[in-house]
Chains A and B, each alone.
Chain A
Amino acid sequence: MDIGTFAIQLLNAVQYGLVLFLVASGLTLVFGILGVINLAHGVFYMLGAYLAWWLTVATGNFAVGILGAFAISFLVGMALESVFIRRLYGRDHLSQVLLSFGLILVVDELRQMLFGRDVQSVPLPEWLSGSLPLTDVLNYPVYRIVVSLFCLAIAVAIFLVIRRTRIGMVVRAGAENREMTRALGIPFDSVNRYVFAIGIALAALAGAVIAPISTVFPGMGDGMLILSFVVVVLGGIGSVPGAAIGALLIGLIDTFGKVFMPELAGILVYVLMAAVLIVRPTGILGKREV
């Protein structure tokens, strides 16, 4: 492999890693801060893609599609938290898995009723649909680069909110010690609602942003859900920078695995996860005790 091809594959790897980060970030927030295993994360990824498709086609405006998908799923997340999810805090993982699995079935059925079961594609506006020539035969779609930058921006934004704002401080305190935070009179419970809603909305946002390059189809979230869990566990549960590192590692190993060891491409990601967990049982940036 010459240096040019290597550079292009590296670009592919980083781009894939950033996308994985965007999907997994919401999961790590909900999992790490609320302690809730949300199996329905993947199905909201799919819902975001379908919403983006529907709104873009209906309004002819891609930005409306993206923002609409984000806003609608944020509201859905708020409603779900106040009706269902809040009953799960502190419950055992089995109840959480059952409830979120139920959500998968319901959301999937709703998708079927509202949007049908066809494969759809989201049209890009003119200025985003071009591509840059890399070699004599290979082009790189501009939109893939835009998505990468967007994912980076979201990563920075999440990091800043958690580290530098008052809400972030409450969230961190609550994740550290729920009872103590409540005892000190900090309005932790209402913050929970926002954390869950943002988690769901991030999944939907990822689906919406990726929709033009991934196409929109039923079941598109299933594979993403599993990879997101790998990213979260690899990076350390609840750690946003950890998720970023985990996602980039997976992007690298998946891309170069497909090129150099195609026979093993399907399992390399999990081998990586097993290897990391043997050395660091709580993940790369995970807290010591779990």
Chain B
Amino acid sequence: MTNIKSTAQTLAMTRRNFLGATAAGAAGLALGFPKPAIAQGAALKVGLMLPFSGTYARLGQFIENGFNLYVEQKSGMLGGRKVEFIRLDDESKPETATDNMNRLVSRDKADVVIGTVHSGVAMAMVKVARDSGVPLIIPNAGADEATGPLCAPNIFRTSFSNWQPAHPMGKVVYDEGHRNVLTITWRYTAGQQMVGAFTEGFEAAGGKVVEALTLPFPEVEFQALITQIATLKPDAVFAFFAGGGAVKFVTDYAAAGLKGKIPLYGTGFLTDGTLKAQGDAATGIRTTLHYADDLDNPANKAFLSAFQAKTGEAGDIYAVQGFDAAALLEAGLVATGDDASAREALFAAMAGAKIDSPRGPLTFSPAHNPIQNIYLREVRDGRNAFVSVAGEAVRDPARGCRMA
């Protein structure tokens, strides 16, 4: 079912690009370009391995739309080469991830792969990328390992490492006067890495984590743990949840009367893409992330209005990460004269890219993880409003990476 769907959409996509490319080609001929800009070589095959169904389907859609927006702004081309998409629904299933990635690399001969959201799937993709050498750009998954022990010259990330948004929050919470803090999350990679980084930052500032509550992923029955929070009465709570779990935790927290009595902090995922469903329960929650909806810079304003015009929806961090993945690829291809097979030069150019991202200035560490600002935001009027810069040009420690 999914395959049929993605094939159909790939065809549609190719046709659209073909039409675009033909139009551009005709225009080029009419204007008499000195060099046939379109006629050179085959299209650049971009494998988009993203969740198009399941819990993370919405995120996959936004990443794809962000990527497409950038390509459309470059008239359907990256580095002067037309782009052909191969869409593959990874369904956020780690167990089929290796096969899916191998399919893109071996059968479909993708020149570059973009993916994905789920960290478990991304780790499988990282392993295939390390073996095959295919360029991989991760537009969301935050597993520290991808730009840590498993870093590689051909693996880049345009999102964040789990460490990145969580660590600066430690100092923020301490500076707001809290000394004894409780943490709560799902017992799986992302949750544990973020809570770990927060604890590291918070204890370095002088605070103490009094209790670390966890529950199995992706369980959403929080009542027992919320009762425990009310019994322990910490100064504040740091939470990592995402998607449906984030909505339920935040609404349960408010319904239990804890909102306004024990301040709730978290990484941005607690309130991103979920505010409509959380409603008033989320108001006042402070989170840290590498983006805020109302960042006041020209790139963000231009991005948000273009995204709105293209999709009819408000752009968010996921769309930005997809958009920047395309920008990073473009930076590499422009430098190598649109030759994706000159890989060493391509990777060097990508590693040195300086992108004027909607999130602010974006460069890359030797481990190929973004160096970016982390913003403190507060939920106001249904938006994640910018409060301050919690950390400027925050750089992941890239523990275990040999390139760093």
Contacts and interface: CB of A to CB of B under 8 A. Distances in A.
A119 B243 contact: yes
Interface in A124-140: 131, 133, 135, 137-140
Given A119-B274, A258-B215, A131 B279 contact: no
A216 B258 CA distance: 22
B145 interface: no
Given A137-B233, A218-B54, A219-B244, A266 B216 contact: yes
Contacts of B57: 112, 117, 218
A141 B251 CA distance: 11
Given A109-B1, A215-B247, A5 B231 contact: yes
B179 interface: no
Interface stretch (B100-108, B219-227, B317-325): B219-227
B262 interface: yes
Nearest to A106: B1
Contacts of B257: 131, 133, 137-139
A98 interface: no
Contacts of A105: 1
Given A137-B261, A217-B244, A121 B219 contact: no
A123 B233 CA distance: 29
B247 A8 contact: no
Nearest to A8: B227
Interface in B264-283: 273-274, 276-279
Contacts of B230: 135, 137-138
B277 A215 contact: yes
A258 B61 CA distance: 35
A281 B255 CA distance: 41
B178 interface: no
A233 B261 CA distance: 42
Interface residues of A, number: 44
A15 interface: yes
A265 interface: yes
Contacts of B247: 119, 121, 215, 217
Interface string B38-76: 000000000000000111011001000000000000000
A138 B257 CA distance: 6
B55 A218 contact: yes
Contact of A217 (B55, B262, B276): B55
Contact of A12 (B219, B220, B223): B223
A140 B256 contact: yes
Contacts of A12: 223-224, 227
Interface of B: 1, 53-55, 57-58, 61, 187, 213-216, 218-221, 223-228, 230-231, 233, 243-244, 247-248, 251-252, 255-258, 261-262, 273-274, 276-279
Given A117-B61, A259-B224, 13 more contacts: A119-B244, A123-B279, A131-B255, A131-B256, A135-B230, A137-B258, A138-B231, A213-B255, A215-B220, A220-B244, A223-B220, A255-B223, A258-B224
9 contacts: A12-B223, A117-B61, A118-B277, A131-B256, A138-B230, A139-B255, A215-B220, A215-B251, A223-B218
